[in-house]
Structure 1
């Protein structure tokens, strides 16, 4: 399957600046259609949801369109799609919802691989109720986190396991389906941070076995918000604190206040763009909304994108291996095209500034994955993170490697 990166790039106004963006793990650039959907929704007739007028119907359509689009992207039920301000906000919300039923002596499991948003909310909730926290490490030499390592921390008192589907720092993709099996064998729930995963892989929620799966549309070409997916029946069992007159229906019971209809419309547009991405350059000037089954088209686009990103990642890894004093910390057998590197005798922050002066954006830090950075022996400073996105070209990879070659010879 051919992936036409130049056809994809033509839909991103921001790329006209000439900056090479290797900062995708922190948030991608946005196609024109997403910005247009946001503007059209916000400036068109719009009011609170209802059926009496066009403005009410527009708001209602934005919400239902968002739920259907995210359900198609994640292989989920639209009735189980919860909107959130961010994945961090959703983790804090659900840590409060779920911990209502925890008791002293119950156990919560977190990992050293995760972004802090899938660690700290659970630690703080456990502390409030007197639950015990158990930690799962990963192999710092290979970056691997295994189901056996998770299973070793489980017991009959385990109530919830929180784990990432892909590390935003080093790209490791743990075996979530295997982890789900051992977690469910104890009767515990599995909360999966899929923020980095959903940007690079096709998500099939039933196959993964996650009870809760979160992601952030701004990591895959959409606006800044968060999404949680779960089975509607599971959500029915969870009772959040809420305002008395607000609905108790699922999933609305978890969404507080008036929803941002424009961001929901922008998210739907991003999913539609992703669904048509593999068709660009084949005679279609733009992704075709509604052409065929959107879920099937999303899977096809992800297959094409994954193959393309594997090719670019391989070229990056070959080039980095030729540079003196460079250590690559992204080594797991199954990983995203996100590479963390450090430099002998030179700081990652210096490297990031050197690249930025040459219009190459690859930031340095630990990127809120504090536990992972410390586990790797990198402290809170982390390293230089090089992340691929659907619009990165082979020429930009060559440009990055040439700049790093010059940097390592300072």
Structure 2
């Protein structure tokens, strides 16, 4: 992550670590907080509660472009001299679109005292994280999304830690993030897996590994997106361009005339592909922005160990269950 050890804490989940951080900060009445509505609820509910406790003014950040990409243009009208906290995802777990976090961070930090928090759970399995390059104040992700066990990591910039009222016992030193919010310590057995995961992803030289991952994943998503966009009955949510610099192979869609659950259950009967349906904890995005019902989306999530042959087989499976004669 390119973070210093005293800026990192381990915990059971990103949900819990964000909740812990939200409990440590106090703000003035009518200070403003901006929350992205396209996010997983992990990166919404803790901050909604924090706003209510502190009497903050909450502003929802909803992108208006077709791909629902979060950008500075949609953020700027929400910023003011009273903005104190902004939060968003690096990649939506529904949309798969990569947001320009450094540009957003620059806009946030143009407001004196404003802090920026990013949910990196859906980004970490696909791309290298560098918190200093991103210029974020808080960044969380889960190792169980990065091919490991159920343990997570939170980064907090040293300067941002000055805003935290520690949760730990009074006698524990508070000069590190772990000392401030690492309640009872992380699970030792799970923590021991992290060096092995880091080694698998290139160790101290992860750049070529992640570059290779991006190239391969670009091929995977290009094939599936080409098929989905060729049909006239499928709505793809998020960026339709297969360029791996602007999206990852987390692809969500709905099929005209078929419930998302129906699509998945029919596929389950014909294959062993592991994709699912629903809102995937991005309930506000699916219901309030996309206007979808209880079925939500069909989501297909691919990673570097999937093969092009598997994608071709997946397309054959989909073609066998979706309505006929719908090609554009």
Q: TM-score, normalised by structure 2?
A: 0.92
Query: Which structure has the greater CA radius of gyration?
Result: 1
Instruction: Give 1:191's aligned residue.
Output: 117
Which of 257, 264, 273 is the aligned partner of 2:184? 257
Give distance in 2, aligned partners of 1:88 and 1:258: 16
Report the 3-state secondary structure (helix = DSSP H, G, I; strand = E; otherwise coil) of the residue aligned with 1:173.
Answer: coil
Partner of 1:347: 259
**Equivalence for 2:148:** 222
Q: Name the structure 2 match of 1:372.
A: 285
In the alignment, the residues of structure 2 paired with residue 90 and residue 245 of structure 1 have an alpha-carbon distance, to the nearest angstrom, of 21
Q: Which has the higher contact order (CA 8 A, sep 6+)?
A: 1
Tell me the distance in 2 between the aligned counterparts of 1:252 and 1:409: 53
Q: How does 1:146-185 map to 2 (within 5 A)?
A: 146-185=71-110
Q: Is the CA contact 1:166–1:196 (under 8 Å) kept in the aligned structure 2?
A: yes
Residue 242 of structure 1 deviates from its aligned partner by 2.0
Q: Does residue 1:386 correspond to 2:311, yes or no?
A: no
1:307 is aligned to 2:215: yes
Give the TM-score of the pair, scaled to structure 1: 0.74
Pick from 13, 30, 45 the counterpart of residue 86 of structure 1: 13
Question: Which residue of structure 2 lines up, in the alignment, with residue 321 of structure 1?
Answer: 229
Aligned positions of 1:259-278 closer than 5 A: 259-275=186-202
Distance in 1 separating the partners of 2:138 and 2:153: 10
Distance 1:161 1:237 in 2: 15
Structure 2: distance between partners of 1:332 and 1:362: 19
CA drift of 1:246 comes to: 3.0
- Per the alignment, residue 359 of structure 1 pairs with 272
Q: Is the 8 A contact 2:21 2:164 kept in 1?
A: no
Large movers: runs of 4+ above 6 Å = none
**Secondary structure of 1:191's aligned partner:** strand
Partner of 2:318: 404
- Secondary structure of the residue aligned to 1:138 is coil
In 2 relative to 1, CA 365–304 (structure 1 residues): closer, same or farther, beyond 3 Å?
Answer: same
> What RMSD in Å do the two structures reach over aligned CA positions?
1.6
Q: Among 115, 118, 132, which residue is 2:40 paired with?
A: 115
Structure with the bigger percentage of helix: 1
CA apart distance, 1:397: 0.5
Bigger drift between 82-91 and 350-359 goes to 350-359
SS at match of 1:121: helix
Match of 1:337 among 222, 236, 249: 249
**How far apart are 1:236 and its partner, in Å?**
4.9
Alpha-carbon offset, residue 228 of structure 1? 0.7
Residues 96-155 of structure 1: CA distance to partner in whole angstroms, max 9, x if unpaired?
A: 112x2x121111100122111111111111111211100111136222221121111111
Gaps of 5+ in 2: none
Count of aligned positions: 316
3-state DSSP class of the match of 1:242? coil
What's the secondary structure of 1:232's corresponding residue? coil
Q: What is aligned with 2:128?
A: 202
| Aligned residues of 2:90 and 2:123 also touching (Cα < 8 A) | yes
- Which sections of structure 1, spanning at least 5 residues, go unmatched? 1-73, 276-293
